[in-house]
C-alpha cells in the first residue's frame, strides 16, 4: 500500500526530471534520493505549565521517580542496611516541579566551554545531585532512571540507620540520597545533556531546600502523614503530604 495513487495523479509524469543535475532538487542527497528527516513532536509538560515543550517526558519521569522513592521511604517500606527498613517519615512533602531549578541545572551543564561537566557544581552536594554515565546513547528518560537508582542505592547498601542527623553524613553517596528524601524539600528540577565527544551523558538535579547543619534528613513517626503541615493533607496515594 502507498500513500499516493500514481495512476490517478493529476501530473501524468511519474517523476520530475532534474533541471540542475543529479539530485538538484534537494540539499542532502543520499544514494540518489532526497531524505525526509524525522521531526519529533514536542510535548507540553504535564508537571510544569511554564516550561518549554520537549520531545520526551524527562521532567515527568524525574518528578514521578523522586516521589516514588520518597513515598517508599515515608511509608516504611524502604530497605535500610543498618535497621532492615528505614523508619517511616512523619510528614514528608510530595515534590512539585520547579522551572527555576531546572534552569539552574541546565545552565550548569551547558555553560561549560562546550563540554559536559564531570562532577557536581557544589562539591558538598548542597541542594544538588549529579550523575554521569558513559553510555552516551541512553535517552534522557533512561538516564534519569539510572541516576535515581544510583542516588537511591546507598540506603540498601549503606543505610541511614537510627542516626538521621545530616551533620553525621560524611559519604557523598549518602548525601545524594539525603537530597532525594529531605522531608522539607517542596520542589525539584532536573536537566540532562549528551556530550558525544566525551562519550558521556550527564544529569543534574536541583532542590529548593539545602539541608542545614544540625537538622535531621527527615522526622520519623509511627506512620506517615501523621500529621501533615497546616494546609496540607495526605496524598491519595498515601505516604506524602500535598
The whole-chain average pLDDT of the chain stands at 91
pLDDT band of residue 52 (cuts 50, 70, 90) is: confident
Instruction: Say if residue 7's pLDDT is above 90.
Output: no
Quick one: three-class SS letters along 183-211?
A: CCCCEEEEEEEEEHHHCEEEEEEEECCCC
Instruction: Say if residue 17's pLDDT is above 90.
Output: no
How far is Cα 72 from Cα 168, in angstroms, rounded to an integer? 23
Quick one: pLDDT at residue 37? 64
Stated pTM of the model:
0.82
How far is Cα 57 from Cα 36, in angstroms, rounded to an integer? 25
Quick one: pLDDT at residue 3? 67
Burial call 124-136: b when 16+ CB within 10 Å, e when fewer: ebebbbbbbbeeb
Between helix 58-74 and helix 172-181 the angle, nearest 10°, is 90
Residue whose C-alpha is closest to residue 71's, from 171, 222, 180: 180
Instruction: Say if residue 20's pLDDT is above 80.
Output: no
The answer to whether the CB of 28 falls within 8 A of the CB of 35 is yes
What's the pLDDT tens digit per position in 137-175? Answer: 999 999 999 999 999 999 999 999 999 999 999 999 999
For 107, the grid coordinates are 545552565
Measured in degrees and rounded to the nearest 5, phi and psi for residue 140 equal -65, -35
Quick one: pLDDT at residue 49? 83
Quick one: pLDDT at residue 200? 98
pLDDT band of residue 41 (cuts 50, 70, 90) is: low
Instruction: Say if residue 62's pLDDT is above 90.
Output: yes
Quick one: pLDDT at residue 34? 76
What's the pLDDT tens digit per position in 159-168? Answer: 999 999 999 9
How far is Cα 165 from Cα 231, in angstroms, rounded to an integer? 27
Quick one: pLDDT at residue 33? 80
Instruction: Say if residue 128's pLDDT is above 90.
Output: yes
Instruction: Say if residue 63's pLDDT is above 90.
Output: yes
* Domains parsed from the chain with CATH numbers: 58-207 (3.40.33.10)
The answer to whether the CB of 68 falls within 8 A of the CB of 181 is no
Amino acid at each position: 500500500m502507498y500513500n499516493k495513487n500514481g495512476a490517478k495523479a493529476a501530473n501524468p509524469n511519474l517523476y520530475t526530471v532534474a533541471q540542475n543535475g543529479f539530485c538538484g532538487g534537494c540539499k542532502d542527497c543520499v544514494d540518489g534520493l532526497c531524505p525526509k528527516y524525522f521531526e519529533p513532536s514536542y510535548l507540553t509538560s504535564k508537571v510544569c505549565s511554564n516550561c518549554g515543550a520537549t520531545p520526551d517526558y524527562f521532567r515527568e519521569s524525574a518528578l514521578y521517580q523522586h516521589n516514588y522513592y520518597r513515598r517508599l521511604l515515608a511509608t516504611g517500606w524502604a530497605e535500610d542496611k543498618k535497621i532492615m527498613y528505614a523508619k517511616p517519615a512523619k510528614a514528608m512533602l510530595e515534590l512539585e516541579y520547579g522551572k527555576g531549578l531546572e534552569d539552574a541545572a541546565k545552565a550548569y551543564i551547558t555553560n561549560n566551554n562546550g563540554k559536559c561537566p564531570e562532577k557536581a557544581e557544589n562539591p558538598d552536594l548542597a541542594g544538588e545531585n549529579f550523575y554521569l554515565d558513559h553510555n552516551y546513547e541512553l535517552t534522557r528518560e533512561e538516564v534519569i532512571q539510572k541516576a535515581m537508582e544510583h542516588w537511591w542505592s546507598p540506603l540498601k547498601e549503606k543505610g541511614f540507620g537510627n542516626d538521621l542527623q545530616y551533620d553525621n553524613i560524611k559519604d557523598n553517596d549518602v548525601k545524594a540520597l539525603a537530597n532525594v528524601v529531605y522531608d522539607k524539600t517542596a520542589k525539584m528540577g532536573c536537566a540532562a545533556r549528551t556530550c558525544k565527544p566525551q562519550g558521556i551523558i550527564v544529569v543534574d538535579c536541583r532542590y529548593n531546600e539545602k539541608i542545614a547543619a544540625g537538622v535531621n534528613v527527615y522526622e520519623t513517626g509511627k506512620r506517615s502523614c501523621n500529621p501533615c503541615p497546616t494546609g496540607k493533607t495526605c496524598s491519595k496515594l498515601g505516604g506524602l503530604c500535598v
